[in-house]
Every structure is written in C-alpha cells, then in structure tokens.
Amino acid sequence: MTSIAFPDIALRLTLVVLLCGAIGLERESRDQPAGVRTHVLVGMGAAVFTLISAYGFSGFERAGAPIDPTRIAAQVVTGVGFLGAGAIIHQGLAVRGLTTAAAVWISAAIGMAAGIGFYSLAITGTAVVLVALLVFRHVRTGLLHRVQSDRFVLEVEVEPDRVGDMLALVAEHDAVLDSLDCEREGELTAVRLHLRVSPGEDRAALVKAIEDQACVASAHAKRGLELAA
C-alpha cells in the first residue's frame, strides 16, 4: 500500500464526475428522480471510500498492523443497495424505478473502478451502460411493439365522484386494469390507467366511449412502451 499524489486524485475524481454524470443525465432526461446529482454523488462517494481503503492506512501497514484494503470498499456494494431501493416505486401491480436503481448501483461500481485507477474499466463500463440505456430502449420499443401493442396508458380528467363509472366502462370493453394513479387537479381528478386489451379489441373505441362521457373533460391514450423506464 503506497501514497497517492494530489493530481492523480483529482484526475480520478474528475473522471467519476464525467462518467457518472453522463449516466445521471440520461436518467434525468427520462424524468427520473435520481438524476445527475444523485449519480455523481454516489459515484464520488464510492471513489472516495475506495481511495481511503487503498491509500488511507499506509501508516498502519508500515507499523506492522494487519490491513485489509478491500474491507471499506466492500461495504460500498452493500450500502449502495439501500440507495437504489429508494428509487423503486410500487404503483398498484406495477413496479417502477428498477432501471434507475440499477443505474445508481452501476454508478457506484464505476466510481470504485475510477477511484482505484482502473480507467479502462470505468470508461468501458460507462459506455456499455449508456448503450443499454439509450440504444436498447429504442431497439426494445421496435421489437416489442408488435407483441405488446395491447398495452397502453389512458390519461383521463374526470369528475371526482365519477371515477367508479369510468372504471365500469373500462370493464365493459374487456380491458384489464394493471394499475391506477389518481391526483386531484382543481375540480377534476387526473386519472392514469395502465390497461391491457385483447389483440382483437378496438382500443380507439374504448377511448372514444370514455371521451363521450359528460363527466370526462379529456382523455388520451399512449403506448405503454412510451413510459419512462
């Protein structure tokens, strides 16, 4: 275990800011709560702990005390799991935020790689993560659209006491409700329904039937794949 010069420390921490910031920027562009600052701070914390673990106890080693340089860094892996759990949200039957939780977790790994000076791993790992987040999302949308075209999100503004009537109308059209979000907006309630219909069912007919209700101010649908991951 040896000492490390300040310019080397600055280089490693700057690399963490750039790499983890790029991942956080992608997440923030998808309206996720964990954005640039969160990913940079997670990566920076992992890098600092790794630097402390690798270089902070050289004096004890010279004194003959047994030193395990991996012990502190190993706790980062455990600790970051609790942070990632905070990004996961349960909404009815749906679970959201898994991708962001994974991004927070990998940001810690990239911070550790940069902190120990494994630059090639940190840069390559970030590149692979960005490919998975940016490129694979479009590939997934294109490939799965055919088999998941029966999944969509219906956003409706309805009178608060008529939400039940709207749900009954959804059931009449043989649509399956996966999850439901409601939020009061003035005199109306904004309802977001995650629905599934059979391939033979007409989604437009359901939307039109809901729009025609006197208690509904507006209604529009979009594919479920358009949701942020």
Q: pLDDT tens-digit profile of 149-188?
A: 567 788 888 888 888 888 888 888 778 887 888 888 778 8
Q: What is the mean pLDDT of the chain?
A: 82
Would you say how long the chain is, in residues?
A: 229
> What is the distance of C-alpha 173 from the center of its chain?
33
User: What's the Cα-to-Cα distance from 69 to each of 33, 64, 81, rounded to whole Å?
Assistant: 34, 14, 21
Query: What CATH number does domain 151-226 carry, 3.40.50.2000, 2.40.50.140, 3.30.70.260, 3.40.50.11540?
Result: 3.30.70.260
**Helical (H) or strand (E) element with 39:** helix 36-55
β-pairing, 216-223 vs 176-185, is unpaired
Give the integer Cα–Cα distance in Å for 126 and 194: 33
Per domain, the residue ranges of the chain are: 6-144, 151-226
Q: Is the pTM of this model over 0.75?
A: no
The pLDDT assigned to 146 comes to 53
Tokens found for residue 89: 């949200």
β-pairing, 151-158 vs 94-96, is unpaired
If you average pLDDT over residues 22-46, what whole number do you get?
A: 93
Residues linked to residue 181 through DSSP beta bridges, in sequence order? 192
